[in-house]
Amino acid sequence: MTDSPLLKVNDLSKFYGTRHGCRNVAFELWPGEVLAIVGESGSGKTTLLNCLSTRLTPTTGSVEYQMRDGSFRDLYHMSEAERRFLMRTDWGFVHQNPADGLRMTVSAGANVGERLMAVGNRHYGNIRATATDWLTRVEIGVDRIDDQPRAFSGGMRQRLQIARNLVTGPRLVFMDEPTGGLDVSVQARLLDLVRGLVSDLGLSAIIVTHDLAVARLLSHRMLVMKDGHVIEQGLTDRVLDDPHEPYTQLLVSSILQV
Ligand SMILES: Nc1ncnc2c1ncn2[C@@H]1O[C@H](COP(=O)(O)OP(=O)(O)O)[C@@H](O)[C@H]1O
Ligand SMILES: [Mg+2]
């Protein structure tokens, strides 16, 4: 970890009309850190993630991002072109539903290769070789490279979406309930894979989940949300083993009863 954060979030709020999605959120994310955002349905997790990744514009507050040259830029004072460039090069976004992050009617290889072309790779042989390598890394058989993701199982689609996001070597990956729609056994395998990749690549990640077991397995630190507010934050082990807030205690004890 370096001596300055990758992301500085200041007093971020998002209103939908008069209803708030998230409110007065502040935290820092450090290079190489995996942060989980947890809370029950409707607590504001997706709203916050979308504000951080510029998919939504917050009503107030700022998000400063450390560029590769070390300078900090406010994400909401960038041009649309600069933001799009960041999304293509520095960031990944893994959707809960793989169909939202993949092109379902082009081949698996092209889904991965397309991202490489978007950052300027032009050599077909190299693109194909890198795509093959990434399919292997996410445990998709090389014999499936020309198949379309609509022919894949949910778990395979999600692994393909992860390959498509990581192939360009992003610095920061956003994930919204990455194991959400999957069977329990498929979830476990995917979590193992994500954990290995994030640690091998030294990625920073922000992972939204309602599942505390996912937070426990993947994250270093976590934010607990309730009604749009972050009500508790800290190291994941501390929050789960010694929750300070009554609401967090309730969340933790209800998961233990499952
Ligand atoms: N597009 C929207 N328009 C109006 N209200 C919304 C919209 N999206 C989310 N909300 C509201 O914002 C709050 C937080 O929602 P969300 O961020 O989706 O929570 P979570 O991801 O934790 O389930 C909820 O009260 C939800 O109903
Ligand atoms: Mg959500």
**Residue-wise pLDDT tens digits, 168-179:** 999 999 999 999
Does 141 contact ligand 1 (Cβ within 6 A)? no
Mean pLDDT score of the chain:
94
Kindly report, residue by residue over 63-107, the tens digit of the pLDDT: 999 999 999 999 999 999 999 999 988 999 999 999 999 999 999
Does 45 contact ligand 1 (Cβ within 6 A)? yes
pLDDT at 115 over 80: yes
pLDDT of residue 255: 66
- Structural contact between residues 6 and 66, judged by C-beta atoms closer than 8 angstroms: yes
- Structural contact between residues 105 and 146, judged by C-beta atoms closer than 8 angstroms: no
pLDDT at 185 over 90: no
Between 88 and 108, the more confident residue is 108
pLDDT at 257 over 70: no
Ligand 2: centre distance to CA 41 (Å): 7
Q: How confident is the model at residue 156 (pLDDT cuts 50, 70, 90)?
A: very high
pLDDT of residue 119: 87
Which of 16, 38, 50 to mutate for ligand 1's pocket (most ligand atoms within 8 Å of CB)? 16
Ligand 1: centre distance to CA 119 (Å): 33
Does 46 contact ligand 1 (Cβ within 6 A)? yes
**Three-state secondary structure string covering 167-202:** CCCCCEEEEECCCCCCCHHHHHHHHHHHHHHHHHHC
Q: Judging by DSSP bridges, how do beta strands 172-176 and 19-29 pair with one another?
A: unpaired
Helical spans, DSSP H, in the chain: 45-52, 80-89, 108-118, 124-137, 154-166, 184-201, 212-218, 236-241, 246-257
Which residue has a Cα nearest atom 2 of ligand 1?
16
Which residue has a Cα nearest atom 10 of ligand 1?
21
